[in-house]
Structure 1
Amino acid sequence: MRRQIVTSSNIKNAGYASDKGKESSLVADLKSLFKFPVLIANAVPVFAGFWLAIYFTEASFASNFDTFLLTIIGSTLVMAGALVFNNWYDVDIDTVMDRTKSRPTVTGNISLQTVLGIAVAASVLGLLLLSFTTLEAVLYAFIGWFTYVVFYTIWSKRRYTLNTVIGSVSGAVTPLIGWAAMESASHIVPIILALIIFLWQMPHTFAIAIRKYDEYKAANVKMLPVIHGMEITKRQMVVYIACLLPLPFYLFSLGTVFVVIATLLNIAYLALAISGLFSADTRKWADKMFMVSVNYLMVIFVAAIVVTLPWFS
């Protein structure tokens, strides 16, 4: 029999591999804890709001770069704090649902006490950083945080199907935060962008609820398809998407190209939603709706940024 020779090099390599594995696991846990894709999705509208405020006030981005950093870092920390708090509070639900069983709050890789500490620290630090911009930006960030943590996570998620509508407010404030860091967000552009996010979140969340129907039912989360069925959920998705149709026409100040892109996107989104009313395979249709909705918001906000770049005009 061939003997395995153990050398110091083998031991070091094994230790290095183990350390790398632990490091990789920690990174994965932190991404899951902070819901990294959701953070990115929320940071884009903040950036868009800030950029468009620069554009409409004819200010210099370079001259306001310090304010931009405070805004983007501060708002991201506030959102991260809210999301981490949600993980801490929903650990019992996450234990039941397959899509959330790998979160560190469920696996125990990060203690619940540590998670709560991270949530509080991130929230406070984020609001503190935003306070160096404007009080209006702080106000919008706090409204988003309070709505998500208190009204959505603690109060409505387990009780009412309206939890989706309530939770949508927290996402809608993101362009208002970015704009308000530069000047008052009473301008029509940030208001319409906030309204777009608010309306979009309903069909987006309903698509997730249909795809994960069995998991939400097992966890006793009061999602619309679980309580009232698929057909009413499909109809509501059509209604909310139809409400998006007129909104781009309030944004002609961004240019005709933007209005055309947003309108065509809305029409395609609505057509797909209507097709669901006649679809025999609701799950397969919901998968398509989810994929479209995931990309919808990114296209809208990236387009708003691109059409206002100096070289575009």
Structure 2
Amino acid sequence: MSRQIVTSSDIDKAGIASDRESQASFVSDLKALLKLPVLIANAVPVFAGFWLAVYFTESTFAAHFDTFSLTIFGSTLVMAGALAINNWYDVDIDTVMDRTKSRPTVTGNISLRTVFWIGMSASILGIMMLAFTTLEAVIYALIGWFTYVVLYTMWSKRRYTLNTVIGSISGAITPLIGWGALDSVSHIVPIVLALIIFIWQMPHTFAIAIQKYDEYKAANVAMLPVVHGMEITKRQMVVYIACLLPLPLYLSSLGTAFVVIATLLNVGYLGLAISGLFSTDTRKWADNMFMVSVNYLMIIFVAAIIVTAPWFG
């Protein structure tokens, strides 16, 4: 019978492998805690707002790169802090819902106390960075943080179906932070972009609520389809998307190409929403609505950036 000899080299390799696994696990937990896809999706409108402020003030991006760095990092930290506190507060809900059971607050990989202080520290550091830009940017960031953490997470989410409307305010603030860090938000472009995000978030969130109907019902979260049913949710989605139709016309200063792209997106989005009124497979339709809504917002803001780039046209 042979004996396997374990050398110090084997032990070292095992230790290194274990360290790498621990690091990978921590990074994965951090991504889940800070909801990385949501964080990125919110950073894009901040960037677009700043970029468009540079364009309309006839300045250059390079001349304000230091302000941009403070704006993008500061706003991202504020949003990350708000998302972390949301996870800290919602741990009881996340324990029930299948899609959130892997979050570190549920698994215990990161203690609730640590999560709370990560959230608060990131929020404070982000506000401090934004304070080196403008007071207006700080005010918008604070409004977004307070709305998401207090008015949405702690007050309305479990009680009222209007939680979606309230939560939408925090998302709509993002282009105002970007623009406000460079120039006063008295221009129609950032205001309309904020309005687009505000309205878009309703059908987007309703699509998720339909997808995860059983989970929200089990967690006793007051989402519209859970409280009032699928049909009224579908009708409201149509109404909200219809409200997006005229908004590109107010962004004519971005050029004809942008108005055409945004209008075609709105028409297609509305057509899909109307088809849901006659769909017999509501879950499959909601999956399609979710995918379209995610791409819709990204295309809108990327298009706004591209059509105002120096090399465009």
Give the aligned partner of residue 172 of structure 2: 172
Q: Distance in 2 between matches of 1:311 and 1:3?
A: 70
Q: Which runs of 4+ in 1 moved over 2 A?
A: 1-5
Output the TM-score relative to the length of structure 2: 0.99
Give the aligned partner of residue 77 of structure 1: 77
- Aligned-residue offset at 1:63: 1.1
Q: Which runs of 5+ in 1 are unaligned?
A: none
Q: Distance in 2 between matches of 1:166 and 1:255?
A: 32
Give the aligned partner of residue 243 of structure 1: 243
Please give the per-residue CA displacement for 1:15-66, whole angstroms capped at 9, x wherever unaligned: 1111111010000000011111001000000000000000000112111100
Give the aligned partner of residue 210 of structure 1: 210
Q: Distance in 1 between matches of 2:64 and 2:309?
A: 16
Give the aligned partner of residue 281 of structure 1: 281
SS at match of 1:64: helix
Q: Distance in 2 between matches of 1:186 and 1:131?
A: 20
Q: Distance in 2 between matches of 1:196 and 1:2?
A: 71
Give the aligned partner of residue 98 of structure 1: 98
Q: Which runs of 5+ in 2 are unaligned?
A: none
- Aligned-residue offset at 1:9: 2.0
Give the aligned partner of residue 163 of structure 1: 163
Give the aligned partner of residue 302 of structure 1: 302
Give the aligned partner of residue 132 of structure 1: 132
Q: Distance in 1 between matches of 2:105 and 2:186?
A: 40
Does structure 1 residue 254 correspond to structure 2 residue 251? no
The farther-off stretch of 59-68 and 190-199 is 59-68
- Aligned-residue offset at 1:4: 2.5
Q: Distance in 2 between matches of 1:196 and 1:267?
A: 14
Q: Identify if the C-alpha distance between structure 1 residues 273 and 2 changes in structure 2 by more than 3 Å, giving closer, same or farther.
A: farther
Give the aligned partner of residue 61 of structure 2: 61
Q: Distance in 2 between matches of 1:2 and 1:158?
A: 63
Give the aligned partner of residue 181 of structure 1: 181
Q: Distance in 2 between matches of 1:66 and 1:127?
A: 16
The farther-off stretch of 183-192 and 6-15 is 6-15
Q: Distance in 1 between matches of 2:69 and 2:33?
A: 23
- Aligned-residue offset at 1:11: 1.3
Q: Distance in 2 between matches of 1:105 and 1:156?
A: 21
Amino acid of the structure 1 residue aligned with 2:50 = F
Amino acid of the structure 1 residue aligned with 2:214 = D
Percent identity over the alignment is 80
Amino acid of the structure 1 residue aligned with 2:39 = L
- Aligned-residue offset at 1:2: 4.2
Aligned residues between the structures: 313
Q: Distance in 2 between matches of 1:145 and 1:26?
A: 25
Give the aligned partner of residue 153 of structure 2: 153
Output the TM-score relative to the length of structure 1: 0.99
Please give the per-residue CA displacement for 1:104-146, whole angstroms capped at 9, x wherever unaligned: 1011111111111111111111111101111001000000000
- Aligned-residue offset at 1:68: 0.2
- Aligned-residue offset at 1:273: 0.5
